[in-house]
Structure 1
């Protein structure tokens, strides 16, 4: 076995219940890519390699459990229009679909690689990537095949919106039939945009049909829900045992109660509210009710073209009344729970040695220095 000692860690956040909060003047040993020891630097064992971080803080690598990184083109003009007052309805997705269908594998792969590298440069070590910009069998399969080259956390989102020129019932039949059959081999998850407030998204009955078909095909479930208005997404996610319901801006008391008694994670995407001038989710309400909360970027060309998980942490602290420690946990361990992973999002013994090294003395600087590139991903 090959071991690597990181020492000179000014502050080490592990999410390990053995420790009462962050460790100061700490060290960590990894063996063959997994955490083998963590504790005070003075007690660190010998290792084959040694790196002194000279007082930098170390936290678990960020787990971005909601992204749409395989696409072509951009929607900068749409963003500019929203900043001038045009509301978001989901209709702009068609622009990205047209660009993505016409793009080559080479172009899509290059964009995907650039965005994945950009995320890692800011501390993200685990990514989920959705399809959803093909909306036909061949392109959806292609997008998932490309995403699988980057991550095992791939999500089939054929039920993103109903494309122009096809009846709703016919499209649901396509998604749950030939499209699902073609895409399932490349996907771990299936998702649906359950949003009755949008004319192009799916209502509760349609979403149920999609999710049940995906579950029968062996895929885990995720839900886009309650983003644009009240709706059945959150409770449908809980009922069907989905790993997460994402957005969660408009939740009723019943939605919160259902989530608090379930294993479904509420994934919050504050970059979307920042980029659409929409109300932020009430994270404090969810946390106080005992709901498991994750933070993710939702990086996509229409409503949040950012891969920066540190930005999401800063927004959660500034706009959603989360403490820095709560936001960091949501961006690491919460995201891991949203992907039903127990090997990432923390630095307990046996975890993957996926780290974010901060050019700062404390994790507090993730919110204290918004927009400054102080984090970088490191896998030992």
Structure 2
């Protein structure tokens, strides 16, 4: 049996609980100095003072790893990504630097539709191998669980191919993958003006196979002006919910058409982006169990105003943070960048950021009962920071401080020392 003592941490910092933290409770984290963690199998057996550990457990029964000077936090949960895709869109990034807006690029044939072409042309094996490389990069940033979406097919064959690539990746890396069907990510060229027919196609032709093959846990939709309106989004999500899918939404990113309200009405697990959410709908979210997942990397990449994290939190919402890794509007898997943007441009406190990337991220993929915090009985997903305090996550600006990652109690990543220095 896998039995370890991670001993002598200078500090352990973690939110506590089995559901998302809302509002001011996001700042309430447990901080323990001179601390140790005991792992038995895939689970955490003990978290507490090293002196207390010595009273209760015999070190001779365990593999002991000294963590003097280090800090332990929960593994990060990246709860919104599009990491399976074909091709890249570096040219579009240059176009944006020259002043073109995301919508202008999309209307000119770029954007999501460009990635659709490349993803349709990629083989299942190519998508799987590219996805594996991206997952291993995420692991180096401390990500132990990730949500991945389809959405670069917009047809039956390619949507299923993306989801099958994610299924192929289960067990090929230490990262656990929560899979989301996002067939309604954009309107394909041959359905422009026939968006209702496209929703029918997704409901009648694609959703049943996704369910039959158990390819996804969630269904998502890009609810946005000139993409899918409220009624179209509701129809797709209702059909998905009736088949047993949990619900997520891209909501109120560009125009405040009320996607966040629909998310609350449908009891969605999360509503994501929310750059344009109204005060009225913030109140609705605060009184619901829907997680507000914010994606600062996308606003940064698009040079847009950031979502108002401070207002959302102060109003009582549960806020999660994620990368939105994708080939167009946010090509990054850098958790340190997300942390810095949240701290410096979204006015989030270090404790709120830690909660948003761990326990609330876990809640955004409906896994808060199993992961997202360091406490007895939870899965042993642990990040070791090469620093004496969790506050170095925000203080050491945009730098990766992750030294070791444990996934299900096993060492999954370790940063190597420089060679010949």
TM band (smaller chain): over 0.9
CA distance in 2 between counterparts of 1:218 and 1:51 reads: 43
Among 40, 49, 55, the alignment partner of 1:40 is 49
Could you tell me how far apart the structure 2 residues matched to 1:86 and 1:12 are? 45
Matched ranges for 1:38-187 at <5 A: 38-44=47-53, 45=57, 46=59, 47-89=61-103, 91=106, 92-148=111-167, 149-150=169-170, 151-166=176-191, 167-184=194-211, 185-187=214-216
User: Residue 28 of structure 1 corresponds to which residue in structure 2?
Assistant: 37
SS in 2 for 1:344: coil
8 Å contact kept, 2:163–2:216 = yes
Alignment partner, residue 394 of structure 2: 367
Equivalent in the alignment of 1:323:
349
Match of 2:340 among 311, 314, 334: 314
- SS of 1:315's equivalent in the other structure is helix
Of 223, 238, 244, which aligns to 1:194?
A: 223
Mapped partners of 1:359, 1:41: distance in 2:
19
Q: Which moved more, 1:239-248 or 1:47-56?
A: 47-56
Cα distance in 2 for partners of 1:103, 1:54 equals: 47
Shift of 1:176: 1.1
Q: Deviations over 1:186-205 (max 9, x none)?
A: 01000000011xx2x21101
TM-score using structure 1 length: 0.96
Looking at structure 2, the residues matched to 85 and 160 of structure 1 have their Cα atoms a distance apart, in angstroms, of: 24
Q: Could you tell me which of 259, 267, 271 is aligned with 1:233?
A: 259
Instruction: Give the whole-Å Cα distance in 1 for the aligned partners of 2:101 and 2:177.
Output: 34
Matched residue SS, 1:113 = helix
What TM-score results when the alignment is normalised by the length of structure 2? 0.87
Report if aligned partners of 2:282, 2:312 keep a CA contact under 8 Å in 1.
yes
Deviations 1:150-177 (A, max 9, x none): 3441000001001011221221111111
Aligned residue number for residue 173 of structure 2: none
1:3 equivalent to 2:3? Answer: yes
- Partners of 1:25 and 1:55 within 8 A in 2: no
Q: Distance in 2 between matches of 1:355 and 1:2?
A: 15
Alignment partner, residue 244 of structure 1: 270
1:219 maps to 2:245 = yes
CA distance in 2: counterparts of 1:299 and 1:236, whole angstroms: 25
Structure 1 residue runs without a partner (length 5+)? none
Q: Choose the corresponding residue for 1:302, options 320, 328, 342.
A: 328
The answer on 1:15 being equivalent to 2:41 is no
* Alignment check: 8 A CA contact 1:83 1:277 kept: no
